[in-house]
Amino acid sequence: MWFIIEQNKRKTTFFLIILTLFFLFFGSALGFCVSCEISDKSYFGTYIGLGISFICLLGIIIYTKFNASKFFLNQVGAVPIKKEDLPVLHNAVEEMSISASLGFIPKIYIIDSNIPNAFSVGINEKNAAVAVTTGLLSSLNRDELQGVIAHEIAHIKNLDTLYLMYAGVVFGLIVCVSNAIIRGFIGGPRSRRYSSSRRSGDSAGAAILIALILAIISPILVKLLYLTVSRKREYLADACACQYTRYPSGLASALTKISNFSVSSDKNNEKYIEKNEKMHSGEVVSCMYIHNFLQKENAGFWDELFSTHPSTKKRISVLKQMGACDFEEYNKVYRAVLSEKSLVNKNKLLKMNLSPIPIVAPVASAASETAVSDKNTDEQRINRQREAKDSFKKASNYKIINCDCNVKLKIPPELKISEIACPNCNRVHKILG
């Protein structure tokens, strides 16, 4: 497994270098265009643009290392959760971290969203974290949850989170600069200056046109680079998750439930999903989730080109056809299902002479577990949902009061009251500050 991680690290380094060079070129080209508009001393503006880009790049590197994890977690409204509040989730994260030989236990966060999803950030003990939604906790059983957690741990282990965070910040900055330039050209004084420059035929008009083209094309090119790499990494994380859990069916079942949440939705629910995803994630963070609800499952060529994730149906198909849990088995099924070249170098796998890793079914037999889940699915889901929601509210500093009539009162922190009456038995409870 080590050589796959090393191979992934080399690819990560390679793409980070490409992204860095493109960002420096972007800043230098803009500096050249601005200086051409002002005077003929274009080289001076190029150096200024390169210097500003380099300073911004240093800021991005420092920000990614120390604050990017907090930024992404804050953007989705994630709150840290204690082990006593959700022991099943904490146990799953601990087990998969040990199975992956991660060397530390990532922090655990919960997001108050009914949409089942999860993502991971960070690369070390200080900033690594796994965030799951309340919808995920209420929808999945123990084995399915373990499969999702193993997938997210694999992203941290393989340094996918480093690339996604760095690329996400660079992409966001280029988009902001490009949008500012485009808005300035369309409605601002630059549009009038461009038309007058074009009539006069000087070099300023050409420089402005180049800047406008750069502003339009750069975000597209960066996004293509960003997405092309992230799609492959999803398959690799699935392969790692199978090895960590020894149970591919768990992750396959989890992905089925997650994708069915959107597939089986009606028109109103689809609008809710889109609104909720944009509110809780946005374009950059949505790339980091295990499933992106903002993209179409049966996408055409252009939609697939700009998609953040591979088809969930294809991922499930690969997982369901696996007869073992090792990389060689995943590689073989991957090639058969997708008709693509190997995900992992086949020659290196053969040289390693790895023995097959058998699938280990959960302690409870699949038949008995299915019978129990079919019988009590709704009750189990409601209990898991209630537990997840209560844990989120407790982590968000809600005051929880258990009344003698078995009603649980939840008082938000912004509600400043000294007492509250139970709506069921009318008993008055004092609220301690």
Residue 118 has pLDDT above 90, yes or no: yes
Work out the widest C-alpha separation in the chain, in whole angstroms: 84
Residues 299 and 309 in one domain: yes
Query: Residues 43-62: what's their mean pLDDT?
Result: 78
Residues 408 and 314 in one domain: no
Residues 82 and 198 in one domain: yes
Alpha carbon distance 280, 132 (integer Å): 12
Q: pLDDT tens-digit profile of 320-371?
A: 999 888 888 888 898 888 877 767 666 655 555 566 788 887 765 444 444 4
The percentage of residues in the chain with a pLDDT greater than 90, rounded to a whole number, is 20
**Interacting residues of 367 by C-beta distance below 8 A, sequence separation 6+:** none
Give whichever of 279-293, 346-360, 402-416 has the largest mean pLDDT: 402-416
Number of domains, the chain: 2
Residues 365 and 413 in one domain: no
Whose CA is closest to 5, among 144, 120, 153? 153
Residues 232 and 369 in one domain: yes
Alpha carbon distance 281, 343 (integer Å): 29
Residues 392 and 420 in one domain: no
Whose CA is closest to 103, among 146, 157, 158, 159? 157
CA 211, 61, 55 angle in degrees (round to 5)? 50
Residues 368 and 402 in one domain: no
Residues 343 and 429 in one domain: no
Q: Is 152 a catalytic residue?
A: yes
Amino acid at 30: L
Q: pLDDT tens-digit profile of 295-320?
A: 666 656 566 666 778 888 899 999 99
3-state secondary structure of 403: coil
Give the distance, in angstroms, between the CA of residue 403 and the centroid of all CA atoms in the same chain. Answer: 39
Any idea what DSSP says for residue 109?
A: E
Secondary-structure percent of the chain, ordered helix, strand, coil, rounded to 5: 65, 5, 25
Residue ranges making up the domain that contains 313: 1-396
Residues 210 and 124 in one domain: yes
Indicate the Cα dihedral angle 4, 255, 170, 7, nearest 10°: 0
Residues 40 and 84 in one domain: yes
- Under 8 Å between Cβ of 277 and 293: yes
- Under 8 Å between Cβ of 356 and 326: yes
Alpha carbon distance 111, 129 (integer Å): 13
Alpha carbon distance 12, 249 (integer Å): 29
Q: pLDDT tens-digit profile of 155-189?
A: 998 888 877 777 777 777 777 777 766 666 655 45
Residues 136 and 211 in one domain: yes
From 37, 144, 152, 328, active-site residue: 152
Task: Produce one character per residue of 367-406: b if its CB has 16 or more CB atoms within 10 Å, e if not.
Answer: eebeeeeeeeeeeeeeebbebbbbbbbbbeebbebebeee
| CA-to-CA separations, 355 to 104, 159, 288, in angstroms, rounded | 27, 26, 32
Residues 67 and 95 in one domain: yes
pLDDT for the residue numbered 345 = 63
> Which residues share a beta bridge with 421?
428
Whose CA is closest to 241, among 310, 290, 314? 290
Alpha carbon distance 146, 245 (integer Å): 7
CB-side exposure of 176: number of CA atoms within 13 Å? 7
3-state secondary structure of 129: strand
Phi–psi pair at 197, nearest 5 degrees: -65, -35
